[in-house]
Amino acid sequence: MSLGRTVKLNNGVIVPQIGYGTWQAAPGEVEKAVEEAIKVGYRHIDCALVSSPFHSWYCLTESLIFVGNRSTVATGIKASGVPREELTLVSKLWNNSHRPEDVEADLDLTLKQLGTSYLDVYLIHWPVAFKPGKDLFPKDSSGVVQLDESAEKGGPSIVDTWKELVRISKETEKVKAVGVSNFTVEQLKKVIDATGVTPAMNQIELHPSLIQPELFKFCNDNGIIITAYSPLGNNITGKPRVIDHPEIKKIADRLGKSPAQVLIAWVAKQGFVVIPKSVTPARIKSNFEDFELSDADLEEINKVGLANQVRSNIPYEYETSWPVDIFGTPEEKGQVKAF
């Protein structure tokens, strides 16, 4: 069983520390997986109106729920028998709806699809605005994603998007807290400095092979809760996963745990929220059986990770490339800076 740990956001909203996601799950798997996760004990479900970077499927959740299946999260929740008020639902604003006039409509659509009147947390998914419209991945003739260039001409910027999320949180009962995802320190400073409102959460790729001390410190100093997606690493762009590292397996064997359990505990030990992915019942259950790592174990895992640092989720490297520099990596060099 889970240790039942929670974190408190900067506006007082309580979020379970271990959440559930089914990123890259195939169509037809999600409903049963969500039902199983809730029955096991998960009370935090992470959602987003997004698409797979490699496919044209339309999906719902950081769990990639594909077109036609978006209501299966709601179906899974209903089938579990657990009341909505006992769950924490987190969702995200997709990149084609960043203009202020589009934000609330996008939120309303998400609420309708999830069968709920409110979200516990609503995040800006990426600090990148696509060309607005119905196409989630608008592309030019060369197949590259088209960005919304209006901000460069004095039009709405990410700051305006953030202002609209803040307005919704203050003027309606549709969201309890608002935050961001995939934001760097520079990007966080920009929205905070412009509005005086600090995001409650920053959801980022986080695992021992992507330790980000500057970002960790900034979020901690400013009361921003970090949520770790891909806590086991991922091979979304063909890069090695930390869960497959021999030293992580050795540590897990010594502790009598699975590598996944060790990596989830590594995230939780630092006070971060973690949303592991699985649609396999046994793994869904195993991932929820967290435990407390010792300080020595934490340092040992840190050493393994620091020797093998890699960022897997870089949109410029997607099959449908985003021509933007979000993280300042060598791979993104020469692209338009995010914002």
CA distance 17 to 271: 8
What the block records as the tokens of 215 is: 């970002």
Instruction: Pick the catalytic residue from 58, 122, 229, 316.
Output: 58
Beta strands per DSSP E along 25-149: 44-46, 49-51, 58-60, 88-93, 119-124
Do the beta carbons of residue 218 and residue 185 sit within 8 Å?
A: yes
Do the beta carbons of residue 205 and residue 311 sit within 8 Å?
A: yes
What the block records as the tokens of 146 is: 């088209």
Q: Which of 184, 189, 311, 268 is CA-nearest to residue 4?
A: 268
∠ CA 337-338-339, rounded to 5°: 110
Cross-strand pairs, 337: 325
SS3 146: coil
Question: Is 58 designated active site?
Answer: yes
SS3 229: strand
Do the beta carbons of residue 230 and residue 274 sit within 8 Å?
A: no
Q: Is 44 annotated as a binding residue?
A: no
CA distance 87 to 43: 5
SS3 123: strand
H/E segment holding residue 227: strand 225-229
Cross-strand pairs, 274: 18, 228
Binding-site residue set: 125
Tell me which residues are annotated as active site: 58
Binding-site residue set for substrate: 125
